[in-house]
Amino acid sequence: GESVGLHLPTLSVQEGDNSIINCAYSNSASDYFIWYKQESGKGPQFIIDIRSNMDKRQGQRVTVLLNKTVKHLSLQIAATQPGDSAVYFCAEMPLMNSGYSTLTFGKGTMLLVSP
């Protein structure tokens, strides 16, 4: 069947390397950002999130960096493993001062890790 990975930018790395996946967002009012990982045939899975009052947040082997000046978000994966091969999506959401806000997703980046 069709893969969600078609037509996506692709990052190819060797096992053990560090990976950096970049995302440019468009809404200067966005205050919450999140990274998802989607493996073939599965729904997106949460990796890490960050609020606009931070510029860096670390998880297990992952770090998210936020630069609001240039509206740029990045996901760094340390010691990349074959199991990290997937499509990675960034998403943004403005602060919910009133009403309800929703996540806007980027198009995704495919990460290919070779042994």
Partner 1 sequence: DVKVTQSSRYLVKRTGEKVFLECVQDMDHENMFWYRQDPGLGLRLIYFSYDVKMKEKGDIPEGYSVSREKKERFSLILESASTNQTSMYLCASSPHSGDGFGNEQFFGPGTRLTVL
Binding site for partner 1 (CB under 8 A): 1-8, 31-32, 34, 36, 41-46, 49, 51, 89, 93, 95-97, 100-103, 105-108
Q: Which residues contact 98 (CB under 8 A, 6 or more apart)?
A: none
The position carrying tokens 């960096």 is 65
Nearer to partner 1, 7 or 26 (CB): 7
Nearer to partner 1, 33 or 113 (CB): 33
What is the nearest approach in angstroms of partner 1 to the Cβ of residue 74?
Answer: 18
What is the nearest approach in angstroms of partner 1 to the Cβ of residue 14?
Answer: 27
Cβ proximity of 90 and 73 under 8 Å: yes
Alpha-carbon distance values, 4 to 18, 48, 85 (Å)? 24, 21, 13
- CA–CA dist 75, 22 (Å, integer): 6
What is the nearest approach in angstroms of partner 1 to the Cβ of residue 24?
Answer: 14
Nearer to partner 1, 45 or 58 (CB): 45
